[in-house]
Amino acid sequence: MIGIMNIPEVELIRRCVQKDAKAQKLLYDTYHSTLLGICMRYAKNKTEAEDILQMGMIRIFKHIGSFAGKGSFEGWMKRIVINVSIDNFRKSNKFYYHHNFDELNGERYLTTEIPDNLEVKDILNTVQQLPPGYRIVFNLYAIEGYSHKEIGDQLGISENTSKSQLLKARRSLIERLAKLNTLPRLKYAQNE
């Protein structure tokens, strides 16, 4: 059951296909926070994330009739929002990537423990502060589970560039999270 009106998902989708404004609003309200969370991982700030979400919802409503019912509807919507996020990245960062990076040969990924006292908002904020290329590759690889080949195909870069961007993103995150761990607010939380 979905939302306040306890409409089955199949019925909600059917009504959205028929362009029922109340059903569309219920769908938007039901999935807004989940989809906005995805957008926040790819955007520079909340305003950009909200813009991406709006573009994603337009695409969802435009193509909702093509949802075949295979797999989860929420998963289908998430994939659309991720694709809109990638499109937005491509448009706003056309010339971000410089060359192929071969520096990964023989280099291991950094590993470290992330402090237990960090909150989700601290980590999300830290990811948002990454340079755009690092941020999108990190999200696609570490969170969405794309391979470096898939990332390369999506972004029009080589696999080595994807690997390099991920390595640099991890280094940057480790440094930034280590700095966050020394903030007085977090030290205070340890004493509670």
Q: Which of 85, 80, 81, 59 is nearest to 155 (CA)?
A: 85
Amino acid identity for residue 174 in this structure: I
Listed range (47-51, 164-168, 175-179) with the worst mean pLDDT: 175-179
Give the pLDDT of residue 121. Answer: 77
Amino acid identity for residue 111 in this structure: T
Give the pLDDT of residue 177. Answer: 79
**Domains observed in the chain:** 9-92 (1.10.1740.10), 120-190 (1.10.10.10)
Residue pLDDT, tens place only, 2-15:
544 578 999 999 99
Amino acid identity for residue 79 in this structure: R
Tell me what the mean pLDDT of segment 25-44 comes to: 93
Helix (H) or strand (E) holding 6: none
Share of the chain above pLDDT 70, in %: 78
Concatenated DSSP letters of 88-156: HHHHH-TT---S---TTTTPPPP--PPPTT--HHHHHHHHHTS-HHHHHHHIIIIIT---HHHHHHHHT
Tell me what the mean pLDDT of segment 53-70 comes to: 94
Tell me what the mean pLDDT of segment 46-61 comes to: 95
Residue pLDDT, tens place only, 63-122:
999 998 888 999 999 999 999 998 888 887 654 444 343 344 444 444 445 555 667 777
Distant-in-sequence, close-in-space partners of 83: CB < 8 Å, separation ≥ 6:
59
Residue pLDDT, tens place only, 13-32:
999 999 999 999 999 999 99
Residue pLDDT, tens place only, 113-149:
555 566 777 777 888 888 888 999 998 998 889 999 9
Give the pLDDT of residue 67. Answer: 93
Cα–Cα distance, 39 to 22 (Å, whole number): 24
Give the tokens for residue 144: 């969405």
181 confidence band (pLDDT: 50, 70, 90): low
Cα–Cα distance, 108 to 123 (Å, whole number): 23
